[in-house]
Chains A and B, each alone.
Chain A
Amino acid sequence: MTPEIERLKQQFGKSVYGERAETGRLTSVSVAPEVLPAAAEFMARVLEMRFLFLAGFDERKSGGGFRLRYAFAHPREDRFLALAVQAGETEASFPSVVSLYPQANWQEREIQDLFGLKPSGHPDPRRLVLHEDWPAGQYPLRKDFPNGVKVPRRQGDYPFERVEGAGVFEIPVGPVHAGVIEPGHFRFSSAGESILKLEIRLFYTHKGIEKLGEGKSPREILCLAERVSGDNSVSHAAACAQALEALSGTTVPERALRLRVILLELERLYNHVADISGVVLDVAFSFGAAQLAAVKERLLRLNERLTGQRLLRSMIVPGGVHKDFAAGALDHLLRETEAIKKDFEQIVHIIWNSSSFLDRVEETGIIRREIAEALGGTGPAARASGVDRDLRRDHPYGVYSQLFFMVPVFAEGDVESRLKVRIQEIYESFKLIHEVAAGLAPGPCLAVPRPLAPMAHALGGVESPRGECFHWLSTDREGKISRWKIQSPSFANWPLIEYAVLENIVPDFPVINKSLNLSYSGNDR
């Protein structure tokens, strides 16, 4: 029994029961629904546990009814704790914790849409994932909802929050945009050019990946995981593989772990370079943007040379890495990254000497630290606002615990800080790649796959380029995947943008949006 559970039991007595050591670093304990808000508050205020995400489970078949699991991370130690709560099947509701954890807002509404469980006391129970055209009474993540059926659509209107006053008007943007990007609707209420309120409406491309994964084999799940968010393929695959390996009790060979770190850092490199390039382009500094785009292309070609795939897909498999790097590939990697780093340094130098560029990014789109923390912001966006958090350091996976690297944190929370975090992380990634490649000993890179343990839960977490990315996998009696919850960093970070744009002007929205560079696909799943 972990000390946290002991403290919980002391505090709440018989309302806390049934603790279970799940796989890996995860422990779970059941809590009675009526003490959930108090227990959650106790976890946050007294135990200083950090709330990560909330997942719903339909365990009616095994007689468990609907269950919710609240994942928490230990602040100092490398442990995770899940609070399991039974949701009433008859009234189908659960107590809302939004007033305590604002970041649970979307999480609870997602469960409301997909499981049909009402978060009682939720301040904003509008629909989120399934829009108004989805008929009532159809809940896709319930086990009795057959996958692959076409649901007839109906008429419905979404009530936007209105701002009223003299000279206030609304600017509806999207869901289809002029650029080749995914759909999302942005509703600005503005007076002149100043933004008074922004309301975002996403989930136009909900793909039902979590449902699709149920009953699939580990290889198939990983294939799906790589497609959750195209440019974060490696991160999602690595997080999902961690959960799968925890479920099957597989020990991944050292070489495979090291190769995974190289892949993860290569992914971070091309993502961060592309993000910086995007911001520079959005303020119309086309020279810098074009040079950075060239660097990104060079990184993608390096990826292709190493793995045969520009986005590094199909490399991570359960138990290790699909194939080892070809002979000479490592030397090429070291030479090429060295050259790319020099190029990148020069370009950054030019860009940061342009006062017109700096004027655009300084003090634009400020996210205050309290906002970032309350809404569960993650990744570079949170680190730019002074939230010192990085899964690679705080809950190390792979071989990160053996590596030395810095986690850049800035306090201002503006577009410039978000760029600076990425620039520093790029340098750290170059360093990490060199360190890992230097310590790479020959050996196997794939363990023999083992069957998944039945009736078990596992949590995998990776610090993706956008932030913390968690995959929760549960198995049924036969050891098949019965539930797959994906907590993508974009799902955590999208709500931040509504705050980042306040006190800014409409034409600065694109650059603020770009500086957060959130994935629609990773969010919608």
Chain B
Amino acid sequence: MSEALFFQEMTEEQKYGQFMKRINAGEKIEADDWMPEDYRMTLIKLISMHGISEIMGALPEKEWVPKAPSLKRKLGIMAKVQDEMGHGQLLLRVAEDLMKPLGKSREDIMQDLFSGRLKFHNVFHMEAPTWGDAGLIGWLVDGAAIITQTNMLNASYGPYARALKRICAEEVFHAQHGEAIIMALAEGTDEQRAMVQDAVNRWWEALLMFFGPGDASTTGTSKQDTTIKYRIRTKTNEDLRQDFFTKYIPRVLSLGLTLPDESMHFDQERELWVYKQPDWNRFKDIIKNNGPKSQERLGLRRTAYDTNKWVREALNTAN
């Protein structure tokens, strides 16, 4: 009690000092704790983007849920995409708690998505024209997600760290589901093998972009310094991209697949993968909802949202 009173008498600066001390000591910040405004805003941006990406991420795979080529695959992909929606729900709940003091709600998140203020992940703006893409999304996109999310498992914000713990456990299953699809295709007919190679070629640049630009000089802004300062994450975008290469390049090659980047190699001296940079201007354009499927997928979401307006209204009446 006396501690609480003492805290109320502190200046903003003292509160900030104590906050930094707490997170540097590895303590978790909870939803009702005092937090600096830019910490709150950074988390809202990060977590609502993560949450809405999980939800928009259901759409590229959505095509392949009814089309999956066997009962086993149908069941597998149904379970997988359902998990993604569940992650979205979990994360939006975390974001909603952070937004509450600002008087904002789920409705604002949806409206921000539709207006383009809230961005979703670059990979979910891309096309997924074959069953090979469905496998590749599970294998490499979810594989990349595991790498970025594992980097935040010890995030200073407790509710996010706990949500990520559960999400990462499920993502491991998704990556296995994707890998199983890819393995079956890679060991299959010529046509099936071509399907996988085609998907790798198509997704390669998007996968490089997945981790974000190396630093602010590439795209003008980068939140990574803030998130590192506040102990939300530990590694930089480039560290994560390198981790991804180390984990997946040998696997891609072992399936007899090639990478659409001839310059790609491991520099033994610098202990770094050397690769061709993706087109970061294109990246900026994609996340501004100008990717190949951005408008179609937003349109689908928006139409569903409008079509179901009567249901939400009815639920409000009932409550």
Partners in one complex: no
Residues of B within 8 A of A (CB): none
Residues of A within 8 A of B (CB): none
